Amino acid sequence: MGKIAFVFSGQGAQYPGMGKELYDSSPAAKAVFDMADSVRAGTSEQCFSGEKEVLNRTVNTQPCVFAVDLAAAAAVCEKGIRPDCVAGFSLGEIAALGFSGVLSYEAAFELVCRRAELMDKASCERKGTMVAVVKLPPEKVEEIASRFEDTYPVNYNSPAQTVVATSEENADALCEAVKAEKGRGVKLAVSGAFHSPFMNSAAEGLGEYLENAVLSEPDIPLYSNVTAKPYGSGDDYKSLIKAQVINPVQWQKTVENMIADGVDTFIEVGVGKTLANLIKKINGDVKVFNVENKETLDALSL
């Protein structure tokens, strides 16, 4: 058997009730939610009982998804399964920073709360949105995006899916341009144009927040969204965390690099199975699981 990787979910798949079964069935998962509540009161309640509209606000989404991600990872470890390396998609990378020991759980959660506040504020200051483009290769998506102002490919998810950040006024025209090229554009239910220059003010604020942060070397390889490679001893971790907010998520390259480094089993920990589905599209030969509730946790068997 090859290496096992945990991949931490990003925002977008959140739903009311997420994490409740993990909280009820796993002491390790419960400890994560208790930690989150000690830092940000009411986080568990938002996950378990919050209305969809409340959960969809970035300032709430990121802390809540982070808590479920880390709780799911803790529950899998409690079951005796530990990863050889980790990666996270967008905010999932912050959960991975905590899991891999770069930051304590508390410090990583405090970071994600601040990140959420800054990105929410940036979204209000400069309105933007995101469009998922499918059925077209990344190169074609880049060409289409270049026809519009303030439009950037930002999530390289799989060979046939690239997410584009753009202004709200450009979104419909972008979808039409994609359709004319025989692709399909789907406007996402997000509150901002993430991983693009729309988030410049958030990146600056995050850089200031990180100035006094104490970061450690990861206990296991942690792959960066920005470089698609493991954080290394020569990297400026604070710069990578700041840059992640305004640079594309290189997810396809990350997964390909993990496979090249010996990973043959991926476990998505957290909300939904978006990453699990993307990994299957990137490479159909690897084993892929997701853990988000008691059923998927109990079914996990390697």
For residues 266-277, average pLDDT: 96
| 167 annotated active-site | no
Q: Which of the residues 191, 195, 196, 224 is marked catalytic?
A: 195
Residues 54 and 201 in one domain: yes
Q: Is the pLDDT of residue 233 over 90?
A: no
Q: What is the pLDDT of residue 302?
A: 81
Give tens-digit pLDDT for 80-104.
999 999 999 999 999 999 999 999 9
Measured between alpha carbons, how far is residue 193 from residues 135, 251, 269 in Å?
21, 17, 25
pLDDT at 155: 97
Q: Do 9 and 102 have their domain in common? A: yes
Q: Alpha carbon of 32 to those of 115, 116, 216: distances in Å?
A: 19, 19, 20
Domain of residue 94, CATH code: 3.40.366.10
pTM of the model: 0.94
What pLDDT, in 10s, does the model give residues 150-200?
A: 999 999 999 999 999 999 999 999 999 999 999 999 998 788 999 999 999
* Alpha carbons 12 and 190: distance in angstroms, whole number: 7
> Nearest 5°: CA angle at 226, between 202 and 194?
35
CA distances for 298 relative to 121, 157, 241, 292, angstroms: 39, 28, 34, 10
In the chain, the number of structural domains is 2
pLDDT at position 116 is 95
Instruction: Determine the longest span between alpha carbons in the chain, in angstroms.
Output: 52
The verdict on 165 and 266 lying in the same domain is no
Write down the pLDDT at residue 106: 97
Same-domain check for residues 33 and 85: yes
181 & 202 share domain: no
Catalytic annotation present for 90: yes
- Structural domain harbouring 147: 129-187
Query: Quick check: 13 pLDDT over 90?
Result: no
* Cβ–Cβ under 8 Å, residues 210 and 242: yes
Bridge partners of 268, per DSSP, are 7, 290
Do residues 148 and 245 both lie within one domain?
no
**What phi and psi, each to the nearest 5 degrees, are found at residue 187?**
-70, 130
By the 8 A CB rule, do 62 and 69 touch?
no
- The encoded tokens of residue 192 equal 């901002």
**What average pLDDT does this structure show over 65-72?**
98
- pLDDT value at position 235? 75
Looking at 9, 90, 123, 196, which residue is catalytic? 90
Provide the percentage of residues in the chain whose pLDDT is more than 70. 99
**Mean pLDDT over residues 263-274, rounded?**
96
